[in-house]
Amino acid sequence: MQNSVEKYLRTEKLPHIWCAGCGNGIVLGAMVRAFEKMGCNQNNTVIVSGIGCSSRAAGYMDFNTLHTTHGRALAFATGIKMAKPGIDVFVIMGDGDAASIGGNHLIHAARRNIDLTAIIFNNQIYGMTGGQYSPLTPPGSIATTAPYHTIERNFDLPELARVAGATYVARGTTYHAAMLTNLITAGAAHKGFSLIEVVTACPVSFGRRNKMGGAYDMLMWQKKQAVSVEKAKSMTPEELQGKFVIGELYKGAAPEYTEVYDRLIEKAQGKSEEE
Amino acid sequence: MTEVIPLARLMQGNEAVAEGALAAGARFFAGYPITPSTEIAEILAKKLPAVGGKFIQMEDEISSMAAVIGASLVGLKSLTATSGPGFSLKQENLGFAALAEIPCVVVNVQRYGPSTGIPTATAQGDIMQARWGTHGDHPMIVLCPASVQESFTLTIQAFNLSERFRTPVVLLSEEIIGHSRERVVLPDLSEIKIINRKKPPAGLDRYCPYQADADGVPPMANFGEGYRYHVTGLIHDESGGPTTDPKKAESLINRLNNKIMDHLDEITMTESLMTEDAEIIIFAYGATARSAKSAVKKAREMGIKAGLFRPLTIWPFPAKEVAALCARANAIIVPELNLGQLIGEVERVAGLDTRVTGINRVSGEMIRPDEILDAIKTEVKVKKHAK
Ligand SMILES: Cc1ncc(C[n+]2csc(CCOP(=O)(O)OP(=O)(O)O)c2C)c(N)n1
C-alpha cells in the first residue's frame, strides 16, 4: 500500500508544514488512497485549493496543482472544468475558506452542479491565522476572536450544499479514515457537484482552547460524536443534539453543467435544435 | 464608382472589443454584468459557443477573474470585462495572475467613480488603479484605445502581449468609447498577427514551470498536457514550490519586472502628430486624445506650433518617448477626465525645464477641443511673457 500511493505524492516537498497532531495528513492519506482505488490519471487531474493550512495539501500531491486565493478555489476550478470538461477536478478547502469568504462560490458551484469533487477540511477553526472562529465553529466555543465564546450559529455545510443543488453530499471524519477514502472515491465517481465535509482536528488552535485534550482525544471525540446515516434514522432530534451524521448524506441527479453547455454549443453551431 | 471596402462596418466600441477578442483567438469569457461594459459579455455569450468557445456568467467579479485564470491554465485564451466597481473586485486575483504568470486579458470600460458613481458617465479615473490596484510590486501592461477601431486592434494586441510575456494585460476603455458607434474596418483574419504562449519542448525529463528563458519569460505548459506542476500565489522557486528565501523572492519579483521593462520596444505603442517642431505638446490618451487632436489642428491653422503625443500603452509609462518630447517642447498640456493621474508621470519625466499643466474634468463630460485650444493659447502667452 505504502509504495503504491507514494506515486501520488511529491515526496521531495515533504515534510509538510502541519503541526504535530493535525488531522490534515489523514485527509491527504485518504485522498491518495482514493486516487489509488480509482486508478486515477495524474496527468489528466487537476487539484485546486484555496488558502489555509488544509489548502497546502495540494502542493504535496503529484498532479496539476493550483493553490489559489482565499475562498476562491471553486471559482478557479469552475474555469478549468468549463474550459476543459475532460479533466477531473478536485477542490480542497478549509472550513473558513469554503463557508465564509468562499461561501458564495460554494452555493453557486453547487447550483450549477458542475462536475467537481470538493473536499472540505473542517477543523472548526481558522488554523492558518491562529485560531479565529469560522462559520463552522460550534456556538459556545472559544477562539482568539471569541475570548468569551462564539455567539454565532454554525452552518451544516452538507445541508447547505444540498439545498443549493449539489448532487452528492457526504460527511466523514479523520477517525473513520477508511470510510473517508470510500466517500472520496464515490464523490469522484459521481457526475455533478460532490461535496465531502471532513471533520478533522486542530489540537493547537481549537482543541487546546476548548479543553478537548490532545490529538488522540480529539480523534476519540470524533468517534463519540459521529453517528452513521443508518443509525441516525432511528434517532430522535433530541438524541441527535450535539452529534453529527456521517456517511453518504444525499445522492441525487441533475443535469451536469459542462454537459449542458456542450449541448448549447451544438445549438449555437446549428447542429441541434435542443434546449 | 464608389469604393468598396470589404468588412467595413458600423460598430460599437464594446462590440469591437468582443470581435477583437474572437479574432485574437479568445475562447473563454467569464464575467459579471456592469454598465458600461455589459455588451461585451452579451455579445460573447452569443458568439463564443458558436465558435466552440465557452461563456459563463459568474456570481461576481472575483470569481470571474478566478475562472479566467483557471481557463487560461488549461490552454484557452481568456478574458473578462468589467467597469470600476468590478475592476476593484478583480484586483486580488489580477495580482495572482501577475505572480503566477497566467496570460489573460481584463477589459475595464471606465465609468465615473468613486463607488457606484455615475454608471453611464464616462471617465478616466482608473489610470492608477490599473497600475497599482493590487498589492505588492509587479508590472502591468495597460492599453488605452481612443476609438472603436482601436478597441478592436488593441484587444488583439492585449492578447498578444499577455501570451508573449505570460502576464495579465488590462485594456482600459471608457464609457464614451465603449458606447460610441463608428466606422470600423475589420482586417482579414489572415492579416492579423497572433502570438501564442511559448511552450516547453515535449519530452523533458523535468519541467520547471518558472525557469525563465533568456528573455525572462518561462515557457508555459498547459495543465493536462503531461507536465504536472504546481501553481501558487505564494512566492515560489523555479519548481513552483513555495519559498520564503529572501534571495529567491527578490529574484522572482525582479524577473517579473524585468521581463516587461526589458522589452519596452515590443510593448510601448505611441502616436505622434506634428510633434517634430512643436513648442506646445498635448499629451492625451483615450477619448480625450480625440478632442486634443482637433485642438492641435486648429492651433496649427492659427500658426501655433502645437503637437499631439498619444500613448496607446500607458503602462509601462512611455518615459523615454516623453523625455524626448520634453527635450524639444516648452510646454506640455495633459487633459484628463480625472483630477490629474497620468500627469504625475509626465511631470516626473519632464523635470523642471518643461512646463506641465493639466486640464481636468470630473463632471462626467468630455473635455472639448476649444477648451484645449484655450489652454494652448494660454501657453503661447506664458511663453511671450517669459521672453
Ligand atoms: C483575502 C484574504 N483574507 C484573509 C486571509 C488570511 N487567511 C489566511 S488562511 C485564513 C483562514 C484559514 O482557515 P480555514 O479556511 O478554515 O483553513 P485552515 O487553515 O483551518 O485549514 C485566513 C483568514 C487571506 N489569505 N486572504
Our answer on whether the CB atom of A72 is closer than 6 Å to any ligand 1 atom is no
Residue B240: the pLDDT is 97
Residues 6 or more apart from B151 whose CB is under 8 A from it? B13, B14, B16, B17, B20, B145, B171, B173, B177, B178
**Regions of chain B short of the pLDDT cut 70:** 1-6, 386-387
Our answer on whether the CB atom of A128 is closer than 6 Å to any ligand 1 atom is yes
Q: Say whether A78 and B67 touch across the interface (CB within 8 A).
A: yes
Torsion angle of the four alpha carbons B367, B368, B372, B373, in this order, in degrees rounded to the nearest 10: -170
Q: Which of B28, B59, B226 sits opposite A105 (nearest CB)?
A: B59
CA distance B24 to A107: 34
CA distance to partner chain A, nearest, from residue B25 (Å): 14
Q: Say whether A75 and B70 touch across the interface (CB within 8 A).
A: yes
Residue B384: the pLDDT is 73
Q: ipTM of the assembly? A: 0.97
Q: For B102, which residue in chain A has the nearest alpha carbon?
A: A66
Ordered by start, the domain boundaries in chain B are 7-191, 268-386
Torsion angle of the four alpha carbons A57, A58, A63, A65, in this order, in degrees rounded to the nearest 10: -170
Whether cis (ω within 30° of 0) applies to the bond prior to B316 is: yes
CA distance A79 to B220: 18
Nearest to A123 by CA among A21, A202, A215: A202
CA distance B364 to B347: 25
Report the CATH fold assignment for B268-386: Rossmann fold (3.40.50)
Residue linked to cell 458558436: B50
Domains annotated on chain A, with CATH: 2-268 (3.40.50.970)
Nearest atom of ligand 1 to the alpha carbon of A98 = 15
CATH superfamily of B7-191: Thiamin diphosphate (ThDP)-binding fold, Pyr/PP domains (3.40.50.970)
Phi, psi angle pair for A19, to nearest 5°: -70, 160
CA distance to partner chain B, nearest, from residue A11 (Å): 12
Residues 6 or more apart from A220 whose CB is under 8 A from it? A175
**Regions of chain A short of the pLDDT cut 70:** 1-3, 273-275
CA distances from A13 to A65, A226, B67, B280 (A): 13, 34, 27, 61
Phi, psi angle pair for A189, to nearest 5°: -70, -25
Our answer on whether the CB atom of A51 is closer than 6 Å to any ligand 1 atom is yes
Whether cis (ω within 30° of 0) applies to the bond prior to B114 is: yes
Residue B144: the pLDDT is 98
Q: Say whether B75 and A65 touch across the interface (CB within 8 A).
A: no
Are the C-beta atoms of residues B20 and B155 closer than 8 Å to each other? yes
Same topology, domains B7-191 and B268-386? Answer is: yes
Are the C-beta atoms of residues A66 and A93 closer than 8 Å to each other? no
**Three-state SS letters, B167-233:** CEEEEEEEHHHHCCEEEEECCCHHHCCCCCCCCCCCCCCCCCCCCCCCCCCCCCCCCCCCCCCEEEC
Residue B202: the pLDDT is 84
Residue B351: the pLDDT is 85
Across-strand partners of B81?
B107
